[in-house]
Structure 1
């Protein structure tokens, strides 16, 4: 019999730590804590580990002072730009163990100046194409060690580490109606990284990474990718909805997006279909920023 442990999701950006805790109360899952704390200075993962650890600990202490945690199991989403992400060909005949070795070899060709022994890899199969394709994410083990050491210092158990985009999509895949058979796009914008995941009939079918030189180029490049690659035969009607998430989403960005793209566009509320502790609704000002907590919530809900 599986025993549920309260699960804490922590999303790290270059400016703040965001935390969501999920508990089991009676017969229901409930969000028992939503909070965030800003770092004293910008978080740079290329700095010395002692400095990174100090920034993380100070922010975490600020959250604990306001409300202690009830659980010990924690998962992280780290800044999107720490992950080396690429779409690679998939050998359909390979078993997972052999596939990982093959993908690491492909990764070494794409990023020849990085030693694959220093990276941890995970992959997501793309279901729609023949021959097969797979999206591979590589994370340097030193960033995993920072997360692990943080947990050790605070007597926590590390469960998962993921990208903020895939973590936020955990919620979309649970809450979204795929019955129309049309494509659903997930756009994530954070710390200069812009990625697109595309789903259809609950399957992951496309990945795109945009390379805008500045914020003003995001929407034109997005329109270009939608028309040229995602829309079937260039028909926008083949797309049901565009979900938008990330730390760099502003009201002006959303207004311009809706003005320029004739698709239903939505910022998803991660707490729309889960109970919230009444004390949070009454006193926690962070709840008013619910959209920005989608990555922390997504990784916290991963085992719900």
Structure 2
């Protein structure tokens, strides 16, 4: 059996469902579909089970009418507010089990109305990098009930759920693909969605910083972006130490890129997530593939993941 199988990636934002389907044949990746469908109403993690699945189902049905999936294997990139995102210190002498218990204890302190055992915890150990040696972890905790709802949606549609990831972390695969043979470099990526942006700083392939900020308008975004970049000094870094910087997201227009570059002295690069994938000919007439391909990076990122 090949390591990679045909795979569809979905991205759930507040107001739409995005789809990227990738077929693997003859030892090559082939892009088979790029599409999106707006939700009838905003979706969030507080929706009741029936409402959440119905919103998702209606969007998926519209996508399927236009072109049905050729694969059962699917993965999801999920918006930030589906997660509890924190950074906390830890004792590296703890066993994996004790470490998760410690993270759950911290979650209970920070979110007293939540039950920690209701959450599935993923974490990044930043001290594995060359730049941060403090015993800190970036925590992304997602409610198990939410994962269960997505799994129910998949079961209802005869799909097999492979993985679920954060919308920004899902794009990291493209930084890896863009820098496969480069060592000892620092990368910065920004993802801009409606009224929200996030920043990841990576030491080679290891995230050492992750933050999510709300913004009111472009002016507020630029001000908060500048504040985040100024905190690079915390890691003994400056903008001059950033080897490459990347921009992703539905709200990442060219005019805004120019404003960010001017404000914080970056040279942001918008990646076409389909550059290294063979393309089925009919997609050259697909407006999402031609005009807004960068916004599909999260869906494409999970579609390209092996695990």
TM-score, normalising length: structure 2:
0.90
Change (3 A) 1:300 1:156: same
Q: 1:177 Cα deviation (Å)?
A: 5.8
Change (3 A) 1:191 1:82: farther
Structure 2 match to 1:68: 68
Q: How does 1:1-304 map to 2 (within 5 A)?
A: 4-126=4-126, 127=129, 128-176=131-179, 179=182, 181-212=184-215, 214-230=217-233, 235-281=238-284, 283-288=285-290, 289-303=292-306
SS of the equivalent of 2:114 reads coil
SS of the equivalent of 1:46 reads coil
SS of the equivalent of 1:302 reads coil
Q: 1:273 Cα deviation (Å)?
A: 1.4
Q: Which moved more, 1:74-83 or 1:235-244?
A: 235-244
Q: Which moved more, 1:115-124 or 1:37-46?
A: 37-46
Q: 1:251 Cα deviation (Å)?
A: 3.2
Q: 1:208 Cα deviation (Å)?
A: 3.1
SS of the equivalent of 2:210 reads strand
* Per-residue Cα deviation, 1:98-127 (whole angstroms, up to 9, x for no partner): 222221112222222211122111111212
Query: For structure 2, which runs of at least 5 residues remain unmatched after alignment?
Result: none
Q: Do the aligned partners of 2:229 and 2:264 also contact (CA within 8 Å) in 1?
A: no
Number of matched residues? 303
Query: Matched residues in 1 for 2:122 and 2:237: separation?
Result: 32
Query: Matched residues in 2 for 1:215 and 1:115: separation?
Result: 36
* Per-residue Cα deviation, 1:213-234 (whole angstroms, up to 9, x for no partner): 5542222222222233258756
Change (3 A) 1:25 1:234: closer
Q: Do the aligned partners of 1:167 and 1:298 also contact (CA within 8 Å) in 2?
A: yes
Q: 1:71 Cα deviation (Å)?
A: 0.5
SS of the equivalent of 1:103 reads helix
SS of the equivalent of 2:53 reads helix
Query: For structure 1, which runs of at least 5 residues remain unmatched after alignment?
Result: none
Query: Matched residues in 2 for 1:230 and 1:10: separation?
Result: 36
SS of the equivalent of 2:282 reads helix
Q: Do the aligned partners of 2:190 and 2:200 also contact (CA within 8 Å) in 1?
A: yes
Query: Matched residues in 1 for 2:174 and 2:200: separation?
Result: 13
Change (3 A) 1:108 1:193: farther
Query: Matched residues in 2 for 1:180 and 1:7: separation?
Result: 30
Q: Which moved more, 1:197-206 or 1:7-16?
A: 197-206
Query: Matched residues in 2 for 1:58 and 1:241: separation?
Result: 39
Query: Matched residues in 1 for 2:42 and 2:235: separation?
Result: 42
